[in-house]
Amino acid sequence: MSKNEWPLWEIFIRGQHGLNHRHVGSLHAPDAEMAIRNARDVYTRRNEGVSIWVVPSNAITASSPSEKGPLFEPANSKVYRHPTFFDIPDVVGHM
């Protein structure tokens, strides 16, 4: 095995104008410029995008699966954050 393994990059593609970049996968490349070139060949062979972001994988900090409860459960009890929580009489019209 070569000790010189190319670093890993996470690839984000904007599918169409007006949409967010979305994570599509990862690939190896020696530097950012080559990562973009490789991403074009690996992830946009069928016109899947109009823009590419590449990010070194080791630059991403992810939440841990074990934190799922403390992070996300508090939102469960706050149903009043959704507009459907409030009953507005029909006569008032669209709101």
Partner 1 sequence: MYAQLVKSEGSKTRDEMTPEEIAFQERIDRGERIEPKEWMPEGYRKTLIRQMGQHAHSEIVGQLPEGNWITRAPTLERKAILLAKVQDEAGHGLYLYSAAETLGISRDELLEQLHSGKMKYSSIFNYPTLTWADIGAVGWLVDGAAIMNQVPLQRTSYGPYARAMVRICKEESFHQRQGYDIMMKMAAGTPEQKAMAQDALNRFWYPSLMMFGPSDKDSVHSAQSMAWKIKINTNDELRQKFVDQTVPQAEYLGLTIPDPNLKWNEEKGGHDFSEPDWSEFFAVIAGNGPCNEERLGARVKAWDDGAWFRDGLMAHAEKAASRRHAAE
Q: What sign has the CA pseudo-torsion 16, 21, 25, 31?
A: positive
Q: Does 5 bind partner 1 (CB under 8 A)?
A: yes
Among 16, 18, 20, 41, binds partner 1 (CB under 8 A): 41
Rounded-to-integer distance, Cα 47 and Cα 58, Å: 28
Among 13, 19, 21, 65, binds partner 1 (CB under 8 A): 65
Q: Does 60 bind partner 1 (CB under 8 A)?
A: no
Among 17, 20, 46, 82, binds partner 1 (CB under 8 A): 46
Rounded-to-integer distance, Cα 41 and Cα 43, Å: 6
Percent helix, strand, coil in the chain (nearest 5)? 40, 20, 40
Q: Which residues contact partner 1 by CB under 8 A?
A: 1-2, 4-6, 8, 25-28, 30-31, 34, 41-43, 45-46, 62, 64-65
